Structure 1
Amino acid sequence: MKMKEDGKHWVCGEILAIDSYRDWYYISCKGCSRKVKSEGDSFRCGACNTTEVVLRYKVNVRVMDETGHASFVFWDKECTALVGKTANTLREEIEKKGAGLYYFPVEIDALVGIEGLFRVQTKSETISYRGVPTFSVIGMNCDPAVVGLYKSKNKGKAVEDEDDF
């Protein structure tokens, strides 16, 4: 994927793969969403000093557009919209089935093949994983009509964040 300038960009692409060897959630502060640290049998947020926690999605995927591929990180808001349930709910369902701690949910694997417009934040110091740039997804639109309109208008190229889609 080629984005020459720092900023927010819309990328039209397809999810090719899920990095299932990484965790699909993290334990976060219920108030501020930051990752919390364990303190024995409980957790504490260093920023809020609270012990109330919730699971949130953090899913690493490989996305391809017409110029190449990159790793995208889908956060809680985007994953909840795509999966249709919160990370807490999904984890509880997995536990009820008796699946182990390292079970990777089929609901997340089902994201492969989804085509959409993904709003990403680009920075010159973008982190690369195995030589592939990694971008955080900060918004998305997977409506086929909107994706089709974008493709016909922009010829599949990433565009600066000028409008919401």
Structure 2
Amino acid sequence: MRVCNTFHISKVLVNVAIEEINDFINKFRLQLRVVDNTSNASFLVWNHGVVDLLGKTVAKLNAEMREQGNEKGIPTDFEKFEEREMLFMIQVRDENVRKKSDVFSVTKLSVDPNIISKYAGM
């Protein structure tokens, strides 16, 4: 017979001076309202998706807007979104169905015309 009393305790110390840690802590998202000839919806694009689309982080966009005195306006970089075809893979949550929330979280996105044409009309 063996008796054992064990405690599993973890303690994590985070050094926020490390760039990767700071990037992880500063999670940003961008909410886009997409409209076409059939309907409209809102999509949450997380920081990595914004970098893919604009080549800038959301934090950099915010900093540029503050520098320009345009904190509550629309960044000029958003003009790149107008009339642009994009394909979103979204996550549909329970709240989207039950509470009829029309904000969908984007898990992947593409602006590649070959990929877009493959899924167009589905």
Is TM more than 0.5 here?
yes
Determine whether 1:111 maps to 2:44: no
Which of 1 and 2 has greater Rg? 2
- The structure 2 residue matched to 1:60, chosen from 19, 25, 31, is 31
By how many angstroms is 1:139 displaced? 0.6
Displacement over 6 Å in runs of 4+: none
Q: Kindly report which structure 2 residues correspond to 1:10-159, keeping only aligned pairs within 5 A, or say none.
A: 30=22, 32-33=24-25, 54=26, 56-64=27-35, 68-97=39-68, 99-126=69-96, 128=100, 133-151=102-120, 156-157=121-122
CA distance in 2, matches of 1:59, 1:31: 16
Instruction: Determine what percentage of the aligned residue pairs are the same residue.
Output: 27
Q: Could you tell me the TM-score, scaled by structure 2's length?
A: 0.63
Q: 1:134 to 1:100 in 2, by over 3 A?
A: closer
The amino acid across from 2:106 in the alignment is: V
Secondary structure of 1:72's counterpart equals: strand
| Number of aligned residue pairs | 100
Secondary structure of 2:31's counterpart equals: strand
CA distance in 2, matches of 1:111, 1:144: 15
Unpaired stretches in structure 2, ≥5 consecutive residues:
1-20
Structure with greater contact order relative to length (CA < 8 Å, sep ≥ 6): 1
Q: Could you tell me the TM-score, scaled by structure 1's length?
A: 0.49
Q: 1:67 to 1:91 in 2, by over 3 A?
A: closer
Q: 1:141 to 1:85 in 2, by over 3 A?
A: same
By how many angstroms is 1:114 displaced? 2.0
CA distance in 1, matches of 2:107, 2:46: 8
Unpaired stretches in structure 1, ≥5 consecutive residues:
1-28, 34-53, 158-165
The amino acid across from 2:44 in the alignment is: V
Aligned-pair Cα RMSD in Å: 2.7
By how many angstroms is 1:118 displaced? 0.4
